[in-house]
């Protein structure tokens, strides 16, 4: 009877060891899908002293000095290491955990630990802390072009490994897959494609991978070059992929089912497929109450429309459509223009060109000098233009508000597009008045509906119409209404989370 129980217990132990070994194999199989996962033997004997870790999550200096120096650069006698518990006597690192818990290993591997096994697929292993929590965090690591008052301000840097490290701190799962390729016949720049397995549609990953591999270019300096090379449509002023320097924005895009592309030497990441409405959404929208966030988003969209059409409407009205001016306004408007010798179109082009000059000069100069030049130059030139009768007071106000409204666009590339669109609309308004503006709007709408981003319509969810995806478009609904991912991205998992069930709570007065 005793031997029978002992035999049953041994069989159970063997079964547990086998299951644990299978779990280890599955753990490493998932991790090996990412290009930043490394696994190798510390000695010349293969299959012995196997170390596994994520290259972007650990401190390379600690790995070299405290592990590789001991096992490789100095004569290491393997008989010193009789069992895995002896590893604490050899490696001078305080946080070393000896365990057979695969769940703990899975969690700690994503936190910057390395797994050390005596032999391949051993059921007991050592978890060694090699993380570098300060990587990518500098004294002034603030985002410059996508600044927000509320929320994290951590931005990407020029080192691609540090960028993946920052991303993995936000998305702490083995499903975050990274693929590394080389682009540039001369530069051989490292490019990493990141996506979340089980969420992102494989077609998006295959499309962007194929386009990157087909690039025949000499030197790649920045993701902005990749943006132009892989969009597939060069006859449009609109950016078809979203470029961001914020870690939280890139993490949000990946969680929604998009693909991110990193380039070594660039602090910007491009994500796609992108839609038109994505360029007017800020991360700050999700850190504020949904009513306030929706209000600011509507102001942002209205400001963009005002910035595009304000000056062209001014030209059309003063050139062809005097009858639409109210009588109360007609007197002051005609008085402000009675000494101006130029037609409205030249007046508008002169002021718009002056604003663009001030803006470009302010960008190229050092920060403090640029701010001073923008303020002083705008005041001096504006006042001098009115006094010299080169422009009217009303137009000066409209152009200033139009320039100010263009700054509300969160993405700099879309802001440039809005600045550009004003000039062709001014020209058609001077030629055909209101009809020219209508023709310009019609051409713009047709052009937008024909654009695609990695095969996804650019104007979705408005065209093709997706009513279920409107909850996070012009307005931002509450979190209880945005628990699903956008259907136009074709995510494998449509649910982000299960919304909170708002049951009617019993009031204290009801008791």
- The Cα–Cα gap between 476 and 482 comes to 9
CB-based contacts of 177: which residues, under 8 Å, 6+ apart? Answer: 33, 34, 194, 195, 196, 197
* pLDDT, tens digit (0-9, with 9 covering 90-100), for 225-241: 999 999 878 889 999 99
* pLDDT, tens digit (0-9, with 9 covering 90-100), for 83-102: 888 888 888 888 888 888 88
| DSSP state letter for 58 | B
Q: What percentage of the chain exceeds 70 in pLDDT?
A: 87
Residue 1 has pLDDT above 50, yes or no: no
Q: Could you give the 3-state DSSP secondary structure of residue 43?
A: coil
- When comparing pLDDT for 55 and 332, which is higher? 55
- Its pTM surpasses 0.75: yes
Window from 297-301, 337-341, 370-374 with minimum mean pLDDT: 370-374
- The Cα–Cα gap between 421 and 462 comes to 21
pLDDT at 80: 65
In the numeric block, which tokens belong to residue 342?
């130029």
- Other beta carbons within 10 angstroms of residue 264's beta carbon come to 19
Pairing of strands 176-183, 189-196: antiparallel
* pLDDT, tens digit (0-9, with 9 covering 90-100), for 370-396: 666 666 677 677 777 777 778 888 888
* pLDDT, tens digit (0-9, with 9 covering 90-100), for 251-262: 999 999 999 999
* pLDDT, tens digit (0-9, with 9 covering 90-100), for 280-291: 999 889 999 999
Residue 353 has pLDDT above 80, yes or no: yes
- Other beta carbons within 10 angstroms of residue 312's beta carbon come to 28
pLDDT at 509: 45
Q: What mean pLDDT, rounded, does the chain reach?
A: 84
- The Cα–Cα gap between 271 and 276 comes to 13
Q: Is 493:255 a contact under the CB 8 Å cutoff?
A: no
């Amino acid at each position: 009877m005793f031997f029978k129980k002992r035999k049953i217990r041994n069989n159970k132990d063997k079964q547990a060891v086998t299951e644990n070994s299978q779990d280890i194999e599955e753990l490493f199989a998932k991790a090996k899908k990412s290009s930043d996962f490394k696994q190798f033997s510390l000695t010349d004997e293969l299959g012995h002293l196997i170390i596994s870790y994520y290259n972007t999550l650990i401190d390379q200096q600690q790995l070299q000095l405290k592990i590789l120096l001991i096992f490789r650069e100095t004569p290491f006698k393997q008989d010193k290491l009789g069992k895995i518990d002896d590893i604490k006597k050899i490696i001078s690192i305080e946080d070393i955990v000896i365990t057979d818990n695969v769940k703990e290993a899975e969690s700690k591997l994503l936190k910057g630990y390395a797994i050390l096994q005596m032999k391949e697929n051993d059921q007991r292993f050592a978890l060694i802390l090699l993380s570098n929590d300060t990587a990518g965090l500098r004294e002034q690591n603030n985002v410059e072009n996508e600044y927000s008052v509320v929320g994290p301000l951590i931005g990407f840097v020029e080192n691609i490994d540090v960028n993946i490290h920052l991303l993995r701190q936000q998305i702490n799962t083995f499903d975050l897959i990274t693929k590394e390729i080389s682009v540039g016949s001369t530069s051989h720049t490292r490019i990493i494609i990141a996506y979340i397995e089980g969420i992102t549609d494989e077609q998006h990953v295959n499309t962007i991978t194929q386009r990157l591999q087909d690039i025949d270019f000499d030197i790649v300096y920045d993701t902005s070059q990749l943006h132009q090379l892989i969009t597939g449509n060069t006859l449009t002023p609109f950016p078809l992929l979203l470029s961001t320097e914020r870690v939280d924005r890139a993490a949000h895009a990946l969680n929604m089912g998009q693909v991110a592309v990193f380039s070594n030497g660039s602090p910007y990441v491009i994500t796609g497929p992108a839609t038109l409405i994505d360029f007017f959404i800020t991360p700050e929208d999700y850190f504020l109450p949904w009513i306030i966030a929706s209000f600011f988003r509507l102001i942002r969209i209205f400001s963009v429309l005002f910035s595009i059409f304000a000056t062209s409407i001014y030209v059309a009205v003063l050139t062809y459509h005097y009858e639409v001016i109210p009588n109360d306004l007609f007197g002051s408007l005609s008085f402000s223009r009675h000494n101006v010798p130029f037609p409205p179109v030249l007046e508008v082009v002169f002021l718009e060109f002056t604003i663009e000059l001030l803006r470009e000069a302010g960008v190229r100069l050092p920060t403090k000098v640029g701010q001073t030049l923008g303020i002083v130059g705008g005041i001096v030139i504006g006042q001098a233009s009115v006094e010299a009768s080169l422009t009217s007071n009303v137009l000066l106000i409209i152009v200033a508000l139009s320039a100010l409204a263009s700054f509300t666009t969160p993405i700099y590339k879309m802001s440039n597009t809005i600045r550009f669109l004003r000039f062709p609309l001014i020209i058609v308004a001077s030629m055909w008045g209101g009809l020219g503006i209508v023709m310009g709007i019609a051409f713009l709408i047709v052009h937008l509906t024909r654009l695609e981003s990695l095969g996804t319509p650019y104007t979705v969810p408005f065209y093709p119409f997706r009513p279920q995806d409107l909850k996070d478009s012009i307005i931002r609904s509450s979190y209880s209404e945005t628990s699903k991912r956008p259907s136009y991205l074709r995510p494998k998992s449509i649910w982000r989370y299960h919304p909170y069930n708002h049951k009617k709570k019993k009031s204290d007065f009801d008791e």
